[in-house]
Every structure is written in structure tokens, then in C-alpha cells.
Amino acid sequence: MLAELKILNQHGKQYIPDIRKAEVPAPFRGLPEITKSSKGALLEGLCPVGAIDVSVQSIDIGLCTFCGECAHRAPEMIRFTNNHRMATNDRNALIVTPRKAESIELNPGLVREEIQGVFGRSLKLRQVSAGGDNSAELELGACGNVNFDIGRFGIEFVASPRHADGVVITGPISKNMSEALAICYEAIAEPKLLILAGTDAISGGVFAGSPALDRSFLDAHKVDLYVPGNPPHPLTFINGILDLIQSKK
């Protein structure tokens, strides 16, 4: 008993009191900011995934692997802020331009009618890793730990698609997992959410174009939430989900 008390005393309070206001300290590479665009093609061929328009008019954070190389090579043009709020349901909103420096936001107009009515209070998710490198999976797991405690919002990952309200995909979607993913998605009752967590899931990341991938699943289904990051930070994920299910038209 004394041993337990000692452990609890050392453990203290670990939870983040207000997830909505929590910040990730610098030098966390969150939302990039274009501070000065250039007409010349200064960064041509630099970005490993072609996320940067060469004249630095835009950065697509759905492609970005957050390696930070551009900010190291051209710090006067690009910097990565510690802003973790990057999840949105609008694929076009992931394209950061010099004019759009504030947070990326969810577009309530794009949220399907049934989502708000059905998923507002509790949400059970099935996670499918399809070529994920286990970093995004670990961060999704961390969402449920004593620090982030996503369970406080009634959100949790469940063992069966039959219990789930939606699927969270990580990884660039390998050909070998494409059938299992489709079967899993099919097994979830309507209405259901489709969430892409991490750059690999959103665009294929550094594996885009690999002959070992099959991303045709995404052509056939509407994505409800994009969560950028490599891997996505738990705060990006949790706040993104809350934005989605608490959105008001």
C-alpha cells in the first residue's frame, strides 16, 4: 500500500487539463508559414515530396513530411511554427499560402448532415494501419494515455469494425492491405467516418508513386478528416476529431 502511495505521489497529475488550449512547445514542426515568397525557383528539387510550389507560393501539408529541410535552407522564406492545429475536412485547406498564416480550420459546410446528429457525444473508431511505419500508430495510441486521455470525450479505439463509427487509416495504403482495408470499412454500419491520419495516409508521403501501393480505396470514398503530420501529434488528432463532431452549421 505504501509502495502504491509513493508511486502515485511521484506520478502526480499527468493529464493535460484543457486539450483545446494546449500548445506544443517549439521547436515542434507544426504548421509551416511562408514569410516571403520568391519569384525565383530557389527551392527547386529540394522538397523530397514536391510539397512546395517552386516559387514558394504555397506548401501542401498533405504532401509535406515535416522534415523541415526547406526552413533550414531558406529560413527567410519558410518557417515551421509550433501550431499543431492542422486537421481539416477540406483537402484544399491543407495548401498553405503566404496569405493564409492562421490555423487551418474545419469547414462546417462540408460536414455531412448525419455526422453532427449521430456522433456528437461519443465516438468509437477502428484503426487500420495499411503500410504505416508504427509512428502514427504509436501517436494514436498515445491519444488514450494518461496525458492526452481522449477517453474523457467519449472517444476510443475499438477492437472490431462492428463496434465502430468510423475508420482511421494510417500508412500509404499498401497493395497487400488494400483488400483487408476495404473489408473492414464495409463491415462498419452507416453512417460512418473516414479519417486519414498522417502524411503517408493523406498522400502516400515519401512512398507516393511506389508500385507496392494501391490507393484506389480513396477514390471511392469521401474523406471526413485529414490529420497532417509525420506522425500526427496527439493534439492535432484529438482537436481535429473534436472540431469535426462538435461542428455547428
Partner 1 sequence: MEKSINGNIINGQSILLNEVPKLGIGQFQNEIEKCVESIHGHCTTYYAFKSEKTLQLIACLANDETHELKVISHEIDTSVKNQQLALTKEHFAFHVYEREIAENYGVDFIWHPWLKSLRFPHDAAHTMAISEYPFYRIDSEELHEVGVGPIHAGVIEPGHFRFICNGEMVLHLEIQLGWQHRGVETMMIQKPTLLQKNIIAESIAGDTAIGHGLAFAQLIEGLSDIHAPKLLEIERSIALELERIAIHTGDLSALCTDVAYQLGSSVFGALRTPVINFMQAWCGNRFGKGLIRPGGSHYPFNEELRSKLTAMLDDFELRFNTIAKRTFNLDSVLGRFENIGRITEKQVRMFGGVGMVARMAGIQRDIRRSHPTGGYIHLPYEPVVLNTGDVMARASLRRLEVEKSIAYIRDLLVIWKESKKQMIASPPMDIKMKSNAFNLSMTEGWRGEICHSAITNSKGEIIHYKVKDPSLHNWMGLALALRDLEISDFPINNKSFDLSYCGHDL
Q: Percent helix, strand, coil in the chain (nearest 5)?
A: 30, 15, 55
Q: Residue from 97, 122, 210, 216 that binds partner 1 (CB under 8 A)?
A: 210
Q: What number of other Cβ atoms are within 10 A of residue 73's Cβ? A: 13
The verdict on 220 binding partner 1 (CB under 8 A) reads no
The verdict on 217 binding partner 1 (CB under 8 A) reads no
Residue 134 CA to residue 129 CA, distance in Å, equals 8
Phi, psi (5° rounding) for residue 118?
Answer: -95, -40
Total residues interacting with partner 1, rule: CB under 8 A:
67
Residue 237 CA to residue 174 CA, distance in Å, equals 22
The verdict on 203 binding partner 1 (CB under 8 A) reads no
The verdict on 14 binding partner 1 (CB under 8 A) reads yes
Give the range of 19-27, 56-64, 100-108, 215-223 binding partner 1 by CB under 8 A: 19-27
The verdict on 22 binding partner 1 (CB under 8 A) reads no
The distance of closest approach from Cβ of residue 20 to partner 1 in the complex, given in angstroms and rounded to an integer, is 19
Q: Residue from 19, 128, 150, 201 that binds partner 1 (CB under 8 A)?
A: 128
Task: List the beta bridge partners of residue 193.
Answer: 166
Q: Residue from 153, 206, 217, 246 that binds partner 1 (CB under 8 A)?
A: 206
Residue span 61-80 as binding mask against partner 1, x where in contact by CB under 8 A, dash where not: ----xxxxx--xx------x
Distance of CA 96 to the CA centre of its chain: 15
Nearest to 193 by CA among 223, 164, 154, 166: 166
Q: Residue from 1, 10, 21, 39 that binds partner 1 (CB under 8 A)?
A: 10
The verdict on 109 binding partner 1 (CB under 8 A) reads no
- Provide the 8-state DSSP code for 213: B
Q: Residue from 171, 201, 202, 243 that binds partner 1 (CB under 8 A)?
A: 171
Q: CB under 8 Å to 126, separation ≥6 — which residues?
A: 157, 158, 160, 161, 163, 164, 166, 167, 168, 184, 188
55, 38 contact by CB (below 8 A): yes
Residue 197 CA to residue 201 CA, distance in Å, equals 6
Pick out residues in 149-168 that bind partner 1 (CB under 8 A).
157, 159-160
Task: Indicate the helix (H) or strand (E) that contains 240.
Answer: helix 234-245
Residues that bind partner 1 (CB under 8 A): 3-4, 6-8, 10-11, 14, 24-25, 27-29, 45-46, 48, 65-69, 72-73, 80, 127-142, 145-147, 157, 159-160, 171-172, 174-177, 179-180, 184, 200, 205-207, 209-213, 230-231, 233
